[in-house]
A = this chain, B = another copy of it.
């Protein structure tokens, strides 16, 4: 599945300055990219950037470090970190000997996405489903007298139903991917991935 890729940088030892520069650029581009991507998917840019910063750092950082790195205000950092903690993808840690609060991002990518999926489902999908069911209830079981009405009603109910059925299926899959039997589903998804790519020609 993984294509062999050529090493892009020389195999000869590099000096520390070089490595530092490359690392810094790599981090910065990753953070920018993540922020941009978040924006496309309805996640505030800064929130995604803070998360990316913590993720790519791979170590706990305190508020000031984040403020300096991203050049954002203290208030913004505070609020954003809180949201990330609410989402469950960043944790507070207390480093002994330091009074400041530190934050670290979940490093397991699968766990990360499961968490995000669970949160978004809970907050955004489930309420939609509920409202959609109420929508259906409005016209469900109405018995029209003339055939024109009947036609309309039938179409309408069919449309609502197919949408609802589909979304319920999506919700089911999410729920399955989300419950703590995570390893199982990781396997399942990988299988699905290879299965689908093979049949794509």
Chain A contacts to B: CB under 8 angstroms: 1-2, 5, 7-16, 18-19, 22-23, 25-27, 29-30, 33, 36-37, 39-42, 55-56, 58, 107, 109-110, 113, 124, 128, 131-132, 134-146, 149, 152-153, 155-156, 159-160, 162-163, 165-166, 169, 172-173, 175-177, 179, 181, 184-185, 188-190, 192-197, 199-200
List the number of copies, as a whole number.
Answer: 2
The answer to whether A176 and B192 have CB atoms under 8 Å apart is: yes
CB of A187 to closest CB in B, whole Å: 11
Complex-state Cα separation, A2 to B136, whole angstroms: 15
The answer to whether A16 and B149 have CB atoms under 8 Å apart is: yes
CB of A127 to closest CB in B, whole Å: 9
Report B-chain residues with C-beta under 8 Å of the C-beta of A194. Answer: 172
